[in-house]
Structure 1
Amino acid sequence: MMRLKGHVAVVTGAGRGIGRAICLALADEGADIVAAARTEAEISQTAEMVKQKGSRALAVQTDVHSEMDVENLMTRTAERFGKIDILVNCAGTAVRKPFVETTTQEYDTIMDTNVKGVYLCTKHALRYMVPRNSGRIVNISSGAGKHGIPSLAVYSASKAAVIGLTQALAYELDEIRVYALCPGGVDTGMYRSMFDDEPPLKPEDVAYQVMEMCLPESVIPTGSAIEMYR
């Protein structure tokens, strides 16, 4: 049973790791996928993997820092598929170092990707969701957004901002449900570049939870910021 058949999902950070796993999990339920990220070769590969599952796919090279890129992403999605049902804001970055050593450039990069990117993608996706009074938005936050982590102060602050944005939008919007997912350590290249331990979660674990949030029959209250650690 394909519970998302006929739904169109835009996923940022879709070239690898959690984002790619989310694309594949949604495609397993029949959703058509628009894979967005900066690296064209990676999202093209994700799109091919989606097509192998029988869903339609579109790869759109996108820098979520750029409003022009984001507007192009949503426009091309609407032109190809006619609507946007699901937005998953998964693009993210981090720098692990003591707060006093974190440069202003690093701060800007983290905030531009993790917060501004969510703002821009959500703003432009809502232009297609609001007229239909329908849609799901899942923001990939982090356990660090609820419990600050030493040497990840700016990253923690960015993910806390995503939770706040999620909760505010849940009050502001009517039938459009907005969620934040706050996983602990996930086995991704970004995690392995910063830590030596074995993370408790796989990208597929996060993807499964995102898929559950996107199902039409989901009863998860809008505005929820759900932590997951295993």
Structure 2
Amino acid sequence: MTRLGARVRGRIWDIVHETSIQNYEEHFSINVIGLIVLFQAFRELLKASSLPRFLAISSGGGSIKMIEDAPMPTSSYGMSKAALNWIVRKIHYENDWLVAYPQCPGPVDTDMAQESAAADKTGMTREVFKKFTLRKPDDAANVLVDIITASTREADGGQFHNIEGGRYTW
């Protein structure tokens, strides 16, 4: 984990009126600005590829629709993932040679997931986790590789994917 990522850890579960502007800035910097820097740095290498793919790891928390479906207290994290989704969709439409889309890996059994569930005072995270099997990181990675490998611009580009093969509502 990067030093910047470590600073944000434990502050994913928050509500708007209690969240510092610094927390919003940190999440936005990591999830949006970091992604833009990555795309700009690798764009020419992607253009040279015979199968160019630019995938961003997102979250159901980045779906504006999910606010009503699962109103978890994720204001800074959700806001930054929604912006990440927007910028990846914009990249898709600006680069007609590229397969680009945001992908949600679903619940993955990481230290961040466990710490976040413990930090969520509402208990909603634990309730959401009960509805899913948390994948081990290696299992999630293998599923993601298969999904990415099979993706096409026509079928997948610019869409907000979930790991089960469906699409999230923006």
Match of 2:43 in 1: 126
**Aligned length, in residue pairs:** 143
Deviation per CA, 1:31-52, whole angstroms, max 9, x where unpaired? xxxxxx537xxxxxxxxxxxxx
- Measured on the aligned residues, the alpha-carbon RMSD in Å equals 2.8
Q: CA deviation at 1:184?
A: 3.6
Matched, 1:38 2:2: yes
CA contact (8 A) 1:184 1:228 kept: yes
Q: Which runs of 5+ in 1 are unaligned?
A: 1-36, 40-62, 65-91
Distance 1:162 1:206 in 2: 20
Matched, 1:209 2:126: no
SS at match of 1:158: helix
Distance 1:125 1:100 in 2: 38
Identity of aligned residues (%): 24
| Structure 2 letter corresponding to 1:201 | L
Runs of at least 4 residues off by over 6 Å? none
- TM-score normalised over the length of structure 2: 0.70
Distance 2:163 2:39 in 1: 23
Match of 2:23 in 1: 106
Match of 1:227 in 2: 162
SS at match of 1:112: helix
Matched, 1:175 2:92: no
CA contact (8 A) 1:133 1:174 kept: no
Matched, 1:138 2:55: yes
Q: CA deviation at 1:97?
A: 2.1
Measured at CA, do residues 152 and 133 of structure 1 come closer, stay the same or move farther in structure 2, by a change above 3 Å? Answer: same
- TM-score normalised over the length of structure 1: 0.54
Measured at CA, do residues 194 and 229 of structure 1 come closer, stay the same or move farther in structure 2, by a change above 3 Å? Answer: farther
SS at match of 1:97: coil
Q: CA deviation at 1:162?
A: 1.5
CA contact (8 A) 1:133 1:175 kept: no
Match of 2:107 in 1: 185
Deviation per CA, 1:145-201, whole angstroms, max 9, x where unpaired? 111343201111111111111211111112221121124432111111121435623
Q: CA deviation at 1:133?
A: 6.9
| Structure 1 letter corresponding to 2:87 | L
Instruction: Pick the structure with more strand per residue.
Output: 1
Distance 1:140 1:105 in 2: 23
Deviation per CA, 1:11-50, whole angstroms, max 9, x where unpaired? xxxxxxxxxxxxxxxxxxxxxxxxxx537xxxxxxxxxxx
Distance 1:168 1:188 in 2: 30
Matched, 1:200 2:133: yes
